[in-house]
Copies of this chain bind each other. A is one copy, B any other.
């Protein structure tokens, strides 16, 4: 979707505040929603961003739309990272998100798929409510669908590499990675650092289990499908 007007910051007047507000809103939303869960109030997000509620609604028609935007950026960042870890970036993708090189160090010789997923979660900054699928009804904007597909491709590459290295058992798929992430998540009521430390502790167990299954030649029976994540269940 190309912008017909000139895009090289042509009107830096009042619109610059708009842009910076936009960024502040996104950051605040990520922060507040990740700390307090999905029922944090819009007023709280606005206050955190140093902005009135109206400034949020001017850009996002609804709270769900704001969460959607966070989902898209989170999933895109995860996809970029997955591709990067897998060995080569996709085409002209943006720069890799910052601050993730150190975290991966202490996970040892774990399967890259799981590691990358954990890092992806770190990147999103808002693990619980945001990596979770939207409500039952009408899900998946085209943007989110595209990001999701890109992530799928990246994870497939990662898992394939891990399979070749004998780090994950046969039958373990990219969809498994997503569902494992959905099932193993930091406990909300605790302070962030504490919850993350424990999260890492137990994720390590799962990765060891994977590697052991691979060594034992286990063949997993049919697991989840990719579109079950973010999929519409229609009950």
Contact = CB atoms under 8 A, between A and B. Distances in A.
Contact of A198 (B179, B199, B207, B235): B179
A187 B191 contact: no
A135 B223 CA distance: 35
Contacts of A198: 179, 183, 223-224
Contacts of A208: 208-209, 212-213
Contact of A202 (B39, B132, B183, B187): B183
Contacts of A189: 132-133, 135-136, 233
Contacts of A183: 184-187, 198-199, 202
Interface string A155-181: 000000000000000000000000110
A182 B183 CA distance: 10
A124 B204 CA distance: 27
Given A132-B187, A186-B183, A233-B190, A205 B201 contact: no
Copies in the complex: 2
A206 interface: yes
Interface residues of A, number: 38
A228 interface: yes
A180 B209 contact: no
Contacts of A32: none
A185 B201 CA distance: 15
A77 interface: no
A144 interface: no
A183, A223, A233 interface centre (most CB from chain B within 10 Å): A183
A120 interface: no
17 contacts: A132-B187, A135-B189, A179-B187, A179-B198, A183-B186, A183-B199, A184-B184, A184-B202, A202-B206, A206-B206, A206-B209, A207-B209, A208-B209, A208-B212, A209-B209, A209-B212, A212-B212
Which 6 A-B pairs give the minimum distances between C-beta atoms?
Answer: A205-B209, A208-B209, A209-B209, A205-B206, A182-B187, A212-B212
